[in-house]
Amino acid sequence: MKLEPLLYVSDFQKSIRFYSKVLGFELGELYPNKENPSYVPIFIGTSKLMLAQARKTNKKFYSKGLGGSGAQFFVQVNNVDKKWRQVKDKVEIIDEIETRDWGDREFTIKDPDGYLISFFTPTK
């Protein structure tokens, strides 16, 4: 069993630029085509996150709005300080980098639709 979350986004092109260019994640094949895409899988190591353009036809899946209120994604990286230096001036910071009481060194950002993403490296 594995989990593959799908995020509905308000501006598909802006989101794929954010996840690929700013965060450095690998884009999969654009669907239905490169000229007018509305879905893409994004690969983060061995994990997959899917993005889909929010539309009136799929609104039942996000009826309370976009932004993932109450949801937070954690991405474990080998060197969180390096990732921090790479993205800190390009993203909206929610929580600056620090070592937490439980031993993870982490920071949290917001994507263009307000979804929360935390990057961390275990220190213990």
Residue 98 lies in a domain: yes
Residue 73 lies in a domain: yes
Question: 103: domain CATH number?
Answer: 3.10.180.10
Question: Into how many domains does the chain fold?
Answer: 1
Judge contact between 51 and 42, C-beta under 8 A: yes
What are the contacts of 92-95 at 24+ separation with CB within 8 A? none
Phi, psi (deg, nearest 5) at residue 107: -145, 160
What does the mean pLDDT of the chain come to?
A: 92
- According to the model, what pLDDT value does residue 67 have? 73
Could you read off the pLDDT of 46-56 as tens digits, one per residue?
A: 999 999 998 87
Could you read off the pLDDT of 68-119 as tens digits, one per residue?
A: 667 899 999 999 999 999 999 999 999 999 999 999 999 999 999 999 999 9
pLDDT for 58 beyond 80: no
Using a pLDDT cut of 70, give the percent of the chain over it: 96
Residue 118 lies in a domain: yes
Residue 1 lies in a domain: no
- According to the model, what pLDDT value does residue 1 have? 78
Domain around 93: 6-122
Instruction: For the full predicted model, state whether its pTM sits above 0.85.
Output: yes
Residue 117 lies in a domain: yes
Which sign, positive or negative, has the C-alpha torsion 63, 47, 13, 84? positive
Residue 72 lies in a domain: yes
